[in-house]
Amino acid sequence: MPSTNPDQALWEQEQLLTKSDREIHPELFILPNVPVESLQKRVGIYTTSTPLPKGYLKLSPLDFIVEEILKDDKVVEVIGNNPPLNPNMEGLGTIYASLIKVGISTLDAIERITKALELDFKNIGYAGIKDNVAVTGQRISIRGTTLEKVKNLKVDGVSLKDISEGKGAISMGELKGNRFTLLIRTETPLDETVLLERIKSVSSQGVINFYGAQRFGHPRYLSHYFGSLLLAGKYEDLIHAVICQTSPFEIPYVTNLRNSANTIWGNWQEIDKLYSTLPKSLNFERIVLDSLITNTSGNIWTNAMFVIREQIKFWARSYASYLANRLLSEKAKDIVTVENKDETIPLLLSQNPENQKPYEQKIQTDGTSNFRYSLRALPYMSLSRDARITVRIFPEFHQTKIIPQGVILCFSLPKGSYATTILASLFDIDSNSPSTVSKVLVDTKETLGQGSLSEIRTYFSDSLNQIEPNTVDSEEN
């Protein structure tokens, strides 16, 4: 029987529509095996590394758990109950909740919540964007609704708990950091002595604070390119790229669809019909196409951008992150000293004109040097006062446990830092696991004595089943 859940129904519809193609041309649905070095260069990371053990990540979202650390050091845990509101947040007018999600981005989760509550996106506050293929916990604030409505809310891929009413709102960056509990799968058992020595080195010397690949939009990793077109004021080129730009990281089936769409650019109905075979995977592109189809007045490109304005903000930040990665690649050559441990670099999207000086040559080449002018047509865009990031980050490791499937790591990072950056200093990370890697499901929380993921697995069973190829064969006893 078809699912009554809209997102599950879209996934089931997609499986049905592509069933014949998958049987005739299964090779079109296999993710390309692109070297990690190619992905790093794509997102602005140009460094050489010493040989490291091969590690495989995110076979299942349950392998990657992210829990937000609030400014008062409280952790938004994915299991169990979280602490109550701080006294200064007590009051009326704002609903606070812990957002637990699986298999979707923070932006997608918030979009689903706003639709269900019939609110505008701006009514929901959040401190940061969490990983997609992961189990994540973070605090959000909701205005313009009631406590009862939020408590009764049912949304695919999302669980809201620790719901209470207060005052104020959560804003971007209003967190201390994130705690990660990760399973890195390996083909062969690791040498514990070597691993612990490497962890000790990373803890003391830190690692370069590169923006991780998830900052650049899975699966195409093109968010920074979209951002460059946005900041260059090339709005039509941006919408064209969003719909038609191919990527070596996508499955060939989608690449073929994008190439076909490019040949009929401007015929929005036909492109939408073409993309209708993937109603879930290409849902975002179809939202843009719907705006182009129904546009009756004004600039069609800025109107199409408005319907995806949260993504527009994300793409602008991705471009700034790409530039920062290039600059950090140069900083990686510096020897660590006591004097430069706290060194910082500026980010492009700042009200301070001095912040763009380190990037002047590159933004001249990209045509983005007048980005402030390009953003004038987009009232929902804003610049920070003086954004900066640290050159090096120093993780705080809590637990390490080698198991037959690989190794479980639990560590914390300050805000604006990525777990994959830390992992890249310990492993040669790959998301495409070979058949020789164990696909046994591991309850990392239970293994570390932190509780159990059993309720998460039950509540999000539909969402977990939708995520391919990250499925597991069997459950650990």
**Cβ neighbours of 118 (radius 10 Å):** 10
pLDDT at 2: 39
Per the DSSP assignment, residues forming a β-bridge with 135 are 65, 102
Q: Which among 68, 101, 72 is positioned nearest to 86, based on CA atoms?
A: 72
With vertex at residue 454, the alpha carbon angle to CA 451 and CA 459, rounded to the nearest 5 degrees, is 125
For residues 374 and 229, give the distance between their C-alpha atoms in angstroms, rounded to a whole number.
10
Residue type, 101: K
Tell me how far apart the alpha carbons of residues 14 and 10 are, in angstroms, rounded to a whole number: 6
User: What is the rounded CA–CA span in Å between residue 229 and residue 138?
Assistant: 31
CA quadruple 373, 376, 381, 384: dihedral sign: positive
Mean pLDDT of the chain: 90
- Which helix (H) or strand (E) segment is 252 a member of? helix 252-263
Query: What's the pLDDT at 467?
Result: 63
As a whole-number percent, the residues of the chain with pLDDT over 90 amount to: 69
pTM reported for the whole predicted model: 0.77
Domain chopping of the chain, boundaries: 57-63+183-207+397-475, 66-177, 208-393
**Phi, psi dihedrals of residue 386, rounded to the nearest 5°:** -165, 70
pLDDT score of 261 more than 70: yes
User: For domain 66-177, is the CATH number 3.90.1170.50?
Assistant: no
Distance CA 381, CA 362 (A): 22
470 band by pLDDT with thresholds 50, 70 and 90: very low
How far, in Å, CA of 312 to CA of 314, rounded? 5
Return the pLDDT at 474: 45
What tens digit of pLDDT does each residue of 9-28 get?
888 899 999 999 999 999 99
Q: Give CA–CA dist 401/386, Å, rounded.
A: 40
Average pLDDT over residues 214-234: 94
